[in-house]
Amino acid sequence: MLYKFIDGSVTAPIGFKSSGIHCGIRRNKSKRDLGLIFCEKKCNAAAVYTTNLVQSSPITVTKRNLADGTAQAVIVNSGNANTCNADGEQKAEEMCRLTAEALGIDKNDVIVASTGVIAQTLSIEPIANGMAELTAQLSRSGGSDTAEAIMTTDTVKKEAAVETVIDGKTIKIGGISKGSGMIHPNMATMLCFITTDAAISSEMLQKAVKKAADETFNMISIDGDMSTNDTLSVMASGLAGNNEITEEDENYNIFLEALTAVCRKLSKMMAKDGEGATKLIICKVSGAVTENDAKAVAKSVISSSLVKAAMFGADANCGRILCAVGYSGCDVNVRKIDVSYASKAGKIDVCKNGLGMDFSEELAKKILLEDEVDILVELNDGCGFAEAYGCDLTYEYVKINGDYRT
């Protein structure tokens, strides 16, 4: 491990400030609904987005603004997704213009994002009226306020930061994310904003972001619904002073490992905070013919509503695991599959060579009642490994989504 976790958020890297306020998009005045991230210099930037054909207007504008591989600020609101609106693109452009005017930068160097209710017209007035306060509150300690400003049904803020060393220079990477529902590969981030002071070209940054997302955010499933607004963006200030990373060399690999660590931590936090969830479930698949097979099996298991319901009830039903493996689309020898459950309370084997086995229901219950549970699937067919992140399916999930808009 070439990195270590540190306290901090999107303002941990050199050059970044952020803020978050309540501007009036949301009726609840105690909830922040507008966030800003700003760098003192123009950054190399990259992003990946939802693959849903229905995409928010902010994604359309952000893609256009990032076409040159640079950005200097992020403006984001919660409470309204600005999706499926006739004037959505105009409103997203106006958010960029207001931000650029307040910060004295080019409006084409602004990443814009929105999250919340779909197909509800976004009012620009609260955002315009809040820009002065939002920019005035920019600070090196404002990361948590921004993390709060992007929350919708999230119950906790999601922040992470790491540091590593490249060319003898300390490099920091920090990030925030939001997402509790409408999360399913691929892109399954809802919203995530990452900053770094590493010097890295836009091309290499794009490669690193895609690779990290594939290993982490694209391995989450909370409810099988893919959002229209998912965006993962990264801005790199280069202020740490390392030689710019321009190829897939050792320094690139160090950066990628640290970036993936931030993404993985945020991914687990998102999965654990799934709407109505009581526990984080991690499916670890080993012994697959290929890594892609391992990923497909892990995603299949973690996405199964029957598996998720069993985890809620702490029911060690290995049949549901085997069923999900069987319809994963991978060529698996079902007579070689072993299944176990593990948590802080211990580990128990429940399936050997594709067949159920006797085990202590009491111990299994104890293991599955913990707030983090591993489902271990050994395919015994090769060296491929992957893990996917999810949560249990509870009564509360239906309650939250039954009246989400009203």
Q: In this model, does residue 224 exceed pLDDT 70?
A: no
Collapsed DSSP state (helix, strand, coil) of residue 295: helix
In which domain, by residue range, is 67 found? 3-271
Tokens of 255: 């950066």
Q: What is the pLDDT of residue 248?
A: 98
Tokens describing residue 66: 């990032």
290 among known catalytic residues = no
Q: What is the pLDDT of residue 54?
A: 66
Which pLDDT band holds residue 156 (cuts at 50, 70, 90)? confident
Average pLDDT over residues 264-281: 85
Active-site residue, selected from the candidate residues 11, 70, 189, 231:
189
Distance CA 116, CA 309 (A): 26
| 269 or 149, greater pLDDT | 149
Residue 63 predicted with pLDDT over 70: yes
Residue 406 has pLDDT above 50, yes or no: yes
Please, which residues have CB within 8 angstroms of residue 284's CB and are 6 or more apart in sequence?
298, 374, 375, 376, 377, 385, 386, 387
Task: Check whether 227 has a pLDDT greater than 60.
Answer: no
Q: What is the CATH number of the domain that holds 344?
A: 3.10.20.340
167: which 2 tokens? 């060319």
Q: What is the 3-state secondary structure (H, E, C) of 105-172?
A: CCHHHEEEEEEEECCCCCCCHHHHHHHHHHHHCCECCCHHHHHHHCCCCCCCCEEEEEEEEECCEEEE
**pTM for this predicted structure:** 0.84
Q: CA–CA separation, 80 vs 118, rounded Å?
A: 7
Structure letter (DSSP) for residue 245: B
Pair (194, 253) in one structural domain: yes
Average confidence (pLDDT) over 49-64: 84
Give pLDDT, residue 182. Answer: 44
Asked if residue 222 and residue 186 are part of one domain, the reply reads: yes
Structure confidence by residue, pLDDT tens digits, 8-20: 999 999 999 999 9
Q: How confident is the model at residue 183 (pLDDT cuts 50, 70, 90)?
A: very low
- pLDDT, residue 405, reads 57
Considering only CA atoms, give the Rg of the chain. 21
280-288 and 384-391: which strand pairing? antiparallel
Give the CATH number of the domain where residue 137 resides. 3.60.70.12
Nearest in space to 280 (alpha carbons), one of 143, 156, 116: 156
CA atoms within 13 A on the CB side of 375: 36
Do 216 and 314 belong together in one domain? no
Residues 86 and 210 in one domain: yes
What does the mean pLDDT of the chain come to?
Answer: 91
Q: Are residues 168 and 61 in the same domain?
A: yes
Report whether 178 contacts 156 (CB < 8 A).
no
Query: Are 154 and 204 found together in one domain?
Result: yes
Tell me, what's the pLDDT at 221?
73
Residues 286 and 229 in one domain: no
Q: How many domains does the chain divide into? A: 2
